[in-house]
Amino acid sequence: MDVVAGSKAELNLVRSLRDRLSDLGFDVRLHPVEVVSWEDVNCLINGSIKCTSQPPQRSQYVSGVLGRDVLLTPTTEDPDNMWVIHGRAVKEGYEAVIFFDSYPEVRKRRIVLTGELSYSTTSKVRDDVLSVHIPLDVGLKLKELYGRRVDVEVKVRKVLSTGYNLEATYGEEPKMVVAAHHDRWLSGFRDDVNGLLILMKLAEEVSKKGGQPVRLVSFTAEEYGDPEEPLLYWAYGSRAYVSRYGEALENTLLFVVVDTAFTEPLEVSFVGLDEGLWRYVSNVEVVESNAGIAYTDALSALNLAIPTLVFHNIHKIKPVYHSDRDVYDLSVKYFNERVVNSLMGLAELANLRTSELINMVGRYLTSKVKYVGVDNPLKAFKCFVKHMLLLVNKGSYDKLDSELAVMSYEDLRSYGNQKFTLLTNDVELTPNSTTFEELYRKALNEFLECVSQGE
């Protein structure tokens, strides 16, 4: 059921997307990307209990005492906590971790477990600590073996391969990009098959109605696939895309990412825009959220300092996230139609009401920085992204239920003594600390200098 970066399944999928988009009148290109392709081949406990291997581990075998050498633990209600639990287990010296699910209906789940409690871009993942998943009922039975020896064996296929970013353009010089990703763990309907369905529905509407110019992109390796295997492992395909083809996007004014969007109220996260945005997404019930940027390909759009928004339901997908229960839901049909109508409105904003969009950027900047006189909001926004935006973890890495976010210094100042971790250097600080104030003043001066020089 996986469609992993660099697999034959991925190639077949992007070819079918290419053919359909070409039929709709889009100019379609496939951009190859070198990726590390990871596939689960076999996973067994005590030779007969089936399990699900967790990426990016390599093939390995562990025989140890349950509770001493091998940790048996629940996933918790938020499966992303598996990353924290696994990182703790590695530090505590466990040779293997067996997760049993907290949701009885889930039989398989897959989470990238890096083995280190950090998201550093300069450190690599550890793939030498075995980690597997089993259903809840199997886990409860396995508890009976506490204090006894268990054998865990995983076989995986982990090789360098080629993934593909798909780019489809309609019309001349589109000023809006709409993106999703086509790689997935297990059935992955909400993450992110439905994103692809929304892209294809948008393509059909644009083709049928002769709509505004638009660029559609489907990324490889959003879940995992960077050959360097940094601890900040996700959104690799989009990083490769903006690194190689960023110049083609220099006139882009709006970058929309659709990832885990499947129900109302739709969560909307944005950077570089203000409340004027809401009138253009009025076709669907929405709620503002700051969670979507950090977990998606929107991070790559911000590398180009393009005003960015994300349509997502990150907080509602948790029970089925990266599991075999993330399957097709009939209710998305009408939801998708409403989302597409909103995307059509946003395309008009980017292509026909450019001055209105630029004014939104200007208002956003003045709300985030105590600075008056933004003569060129788009250039000032580039300076803002470079100097005033931070990728943070709310709390310490080793705490359960923490959340990543992209926030400005001004946003953080309102949190007082709450602890944050900066992902760029793993520094922990509180907004009311002297260290934070020093960083803020330095960043503000660099921002003002950047704006004054028009860089």
The boundaries of every CATH 3.40.630.10 domain in the chain are 8-38+160-362
Whether the predicted pLDDT of 454 surpasses 90: no
What was the pLDDT predicted at 452?
Answer: 87
Q: What is the secondary structure of 109-173 as a DSSP string?
A: B-----SSS---SSSBPP--SEEEEE-HHHHHHHGGGTTSEEEEEEEEEEEEEEEEEEEEEESSS
CATH superfamily of 8-38+160-362: Zn peptidases (3.40.630.10)
Burial level of 136, CB count in 10 A (0-12/13-18/19+)? middle
Q: What is the secondary structure of 59-101 as a DSSP string?
A: SEEEEEEBTTTEEEEE--SSTTHHHHHHHHHHHHT-SEEEEE-
Handedness of CA 223, 229, 235, 238 (dihedral sign): negative
Strand partners, 166: 30, 218
What was the pLDDT predicted at 369?
Answer: 87
Whether the predicted pLDDT of 102 surpasses 90: yes
Query: For residues 369 and 295, which has the higher predicted lDDT (pLDDT)?
Result: 295
**Six-digit token pair at 133?**
């998943």
Long-range contacts, stretch 340-344, CB < 8 angstroms, 24+ apart = 340/198, 340/201, 340/202, 340/205, 341/283, 341/284, 342/280, 342/281, 342/282, 342/283, 342/284, 343/178, 343/198, 343/202, 343/256, 344/202, 344/205, 344/206, 344/211, 344/212
- Mean of the per-residue pLDDT values of the chain: 96
Question: What mean pLDDT do residues 64-88 have?
Answer: 98
What was the pLDDT predicted at 98?
Answer: 99
Question: What mean pLDDT do residues 441-452 have?
Answer: 92
User: How many other CB atoms are there within 10 angstroms of residue 383's CB atom?
Assistant: 23
Give pLDDT tens digits for 170-223: 999 999 999 999 999 999 999 999 999 999 999 999 999 988 999 999 999 999
Whether the predicted pLDDT of 438 surpasses 70: yes
The boundaries of every CATH 3.50.30.30 domain in the chain are 42-156
What was the pLDDT predicted at 371?
Answer: 63
Whether the predicted pLDDT of 419 surpasses 70: yes
**CATH architecture of structural domain 42-156:** 3-Layer(bba) Sandwich (3.50)
Q: Do residues 310 and 269 lie in contact, with contact meaning Cβ atoms separated by under 8 Å?
A: yes
Cα separation, 181 vs 235, whole angstroms: 9
**Six-digit token pair at 315?**
């907080």
Question: What mean pLDDT do residues 139-165 have?
Answer: 98
Please report, rounded to a whole number, the percentage of residues in the chain having pLDDT higher than 90.
Answer: 91
Cα separation, 432 vs 427, whole angstroms: 15
> For the whole prediction, is pTM greater than 0.85?
yes
**Six-digit token pair at 381?**
């926004």
For 15-52, b/e burial (b = at least 16 CB within 10 A) is: eebbeebeebebebebbebebbbbbbeebbbeeebebb
What was the pLDDT predicted at 80?
Answer: 97
Question: What mean pLDDT do residues 256-261 have?
Answer: 98
Whether the predicted pLDDT of 228 surpasses 60: yes
Question: What mean pLDDT do residues 91-98 have?
Answer: 98
Please report, rounded to a whole number, the percentage of residues in the chain having pLDDT higher than 70.
Answer: 99
The closest of 39, 42, 186 to 101, measured between CA atoms, is 186
